[in-house]
Amino acid sequence: MAKKLFIETLGCQMNVRDSEHMIAELQLHEGYELTQEVGEADLILINTCSVREKPVQKLFSEIGMYAKQRKPGAKIGVTGCTASHLGEEIIRRSPAVDFVLGARNTSKIVQVLHKPKAVETSIDYDDTTYQFADYRSSKVKAFVNIMVGCDKSCTFCIVPYTRGEEISIPDDLILDEVRRAADQGIKEVILLGQNVNSYGRRVSGGRKGIGFTELLRRVSRVDGIERIRFTSPHPLHMDDEFIEEFASNPKICKNIHMPLQSGSTRILRQMRRGYTKEWFIERAAKIRALTPDVTIGTDIIVAFPGESEEDFADTLDVVREVGFETMFSFKYSPRPLTPAAQFPNQVDPEVADARLWRLQEFQQEIHDRVAAAQAGKVYDVLFEEYNSETGMLIGRSGNNFMIRVPASDGRLVGSIAPVKIVKTGRHALTGELEG
Ligand code: 5AD
Ligand code: SF4
């Protein structure tokens, strides 16, 4: 019988791709098969995130739970950003853990499996040109790493300490991977990096790089790829050439993530984000002016150290002005190793809760208005799955609305068809096939 792998993936899309890489390596070299049942797994992997404190606290109770549920002899491995950050402390606090594998060391998954109590967490390790085995969780869309690490120094962010310095993957390797995906019938690629606009500045092997805008052009020339998404760009580095390419290249989906973090220029300076309130608003306005039907998503942190009522009002201002279609909002969480954790004037937790609540209420109103305004619109939808229980095809428009369409079967999964929106709601839109 094949050995079974249970994997839990927390955090961002880079982690999703790292999990796919580990699954691929374990399938090819060790004969593992995936399972959804912890109790029947021979190997349990927790691919962790450390961007905020809560999931890190939860990790240890989770390990305890898996240790109880596992079958005798099953191994537990902790991977990802918290693995990078806490390293051997994880094994010290939880002796049930067999190995710890940092986010920059994914290609060593097979090695650590055979090394009792292995801890591989170097953030200088470069496996960007490693040829991972092939595994994708979707037959329709493919995550493709274009770079690893981050050279920014946002004062709140632990990522540079868990994923190390920024290295771009050579463009020919990226294009090979995109072509392979297209050959397998993939329609959409999602290019991944912590800061995609700085793609190409330092390429592995010291090779000369092309910039992100040029990479987008080359990826869009791959036959069979109909849609390109990417995450995340950095508002500071969204230059005119990039925005014009985004707006005019028909293969690039008209949805963009623009992490604001704060609307106050004073706080942005403390965060070392490099842009002002006005710069951000102007960039978003330019994108909207050039790109009909574009949707803009964002991340916002409330209650960064020293944030006053006035600073918070600036954030609400930007939210009102830009009208983000989607938003992830967080309370500031002090992270070890980061400068902001040492800043004075940490905001009172009750004030932080109240601001988060106000921001989310405000955003909900915008979101409801946006959803209601979609009635009657026609979008090209790429269908990703069919739910036979509800009889619904589920897919996304280019501008990233989730759209459901009643259908008797899943034949349309993997294809793009025009859909007219007939019903709007908070979580999904419902439509009918056109024509
Ligand atoms: N506290 C709260 N939120 C954070 N993020 C990153 N670091 C922190 C922190 N210390 C948020 C940012 C980022 C998203 C992935 O997580 O908004 O864009
Ligand atoms: Fe963190 Fe800034 Fe890098 Fe994003 S760009 S991961 S916020 S340091």
pLDDT tens across the length of the chain (435 residues)? 899 999 999 999 999 999 999 999 999 999 999 999 999 999 999 999 999 998 888 999 999 999 999 999 999 999 999 999 999 999 999 999 999 999 999 999 999 999 999 999 999 999 999 999 999 999 999 999 999 999 999 999 999 999 999 999 999 999 999 999 999 999 999 999 999 999 999 999 888 899 999 999 999 999 999 999 999 999 999 999 999 999 999 999 999 999 999 999 999 999 999 999 999 999 999 999 999 999 999 999 999 999 999 999 999 999 999 999 999 999 999 999 999 999 999 999 999 999 999 999 999 999 999 999 999 999 999 999 999 999 999 999 999 999 999 999 999 999 999 999 999 998 889 999 997
Atom number, ligand 2, closest to the C-alpha of residue 158:
1
How many Cα atoms sit within 13 Å of 26 on the Cβ side?
26
List CB contacts of 39: < 8 A, sequence separation 6 or more: 69, 70, 71
Residue 126 CA, chain-centre distance (Å), reads: 21
For ligand 1, the distance from its centroid to the CA atom of residue 299, given in whole angstroms, is: 8
Tokens 């990522």 appear where? 159
For ligand 1, the distance from its centroid to the CA atom of residue 434, given in whole angstroms, is: 41
Q: Among all ligands shown, which has an atom nearest to the Cα of 194?
A: 2
List CB contacts of 152: < 8 A, sequence separation 6 or more: 160, 194, 195, 234, 272
Rounded CA gap, 101 and 80, in Å? Answer: 7
Amino acid code (one letter) for 175: L
For ligand 1, the distance from its centroid to the CA atom of residue 125, given in whole angstroms, is: 24
Atom number, ligand 1, closest to the C-alpha of residue 300:
17
For ligand 1, the distance from its centroid to the CA atom of residue 301, given in whole angstroms, is: 6
Q: Among all ligands shown, which has an atom nearest to the Cα of 329?
A: 1
Q: What is the CA radius of gyration of the chain?
A: 22
Amino acid code (one letter) for 103: A
Ligand 1 lining (C-beta closer than 6 Å): 51-52, 156-157, 259, 261, 299, 301, 330, 332-333, 335
